[in-house]
Amino acid sequence: AQSVAQPEDQVNVAEGNPLTVKCTYSVSGNPYLFWYVQYPNRGLQFLLKYITGDNLVKGSYGFEAEFNKSQTSFHLKKPSALVSDSALYFCAVRDRGTGFQKLVFGTGTRLLVSP
């Protein structure tokens, strides 16, 4: 089965510093990978996706993610963190079952940006 792993429960970074939230994947076939963000008391919001093409994909709010096939990773990055980026971040992979319509989410990583 397709799966993603987020090895860090929490990431702490100071405002203005670069941030990285890690994700590794395990898939058969070509991976379709995604990042979502969840702000407190809100639903998840789509940030970005990788399907094919350039290994560096850009998304909303200045976030980007780097696809690395050899390391089976899809880390989320931002050059300069904002306090408002503090939220729960989920990596996801498209599942192969039932016509590739389901997303399987990782366990989430809480990002805390301090002023």
Partner 1 sequence: DAGVIQSPRHEVTEMGQEVTLRCKPISGHDYLFWYRQTMMRGLELLIYFNNNVPIDDSGMPEDRFSAKMPNASFSTLKIQPSEPRDSAVYFCASSNKPGLGIYTFGSGTRLTVV
Q: What residue ranges bind partner 1 (CB under 8 A)?
A: 32, 34, 41-46, 49, 51, 90, 92, 94, 97-108
Which letter does DSSP use for residue 78 in this model? E
Is the CB of 82 or the CB of 104 nearer to partner 1? 104
The CA angle 21-81-37, to the nearest 5 degrees, is 50
Q: Measured from the CB of residue 52, what is the shortest distance to partner 1 in angstroms?
A: 12
Q: How far is the CB of 70 from partner 1 (least distance, A)?
A: 23
- Helices (H), strands (E): how many in the chain? 0, 12
Question: Given the complex with partner 1, which of 31 and 81 has the nearer CB atom?
Answer: 31
Q: How far, in Å, CA of 77 to CA of 33, rounded?
A: 15
The helix/strand/coil state of 84 is: helix
Task: Closer to partner 1 by CB, 14 or 112: give it.
Answer: 112
Nearest distance from C-beta of residue 87 to partner 1, angstroms: 13
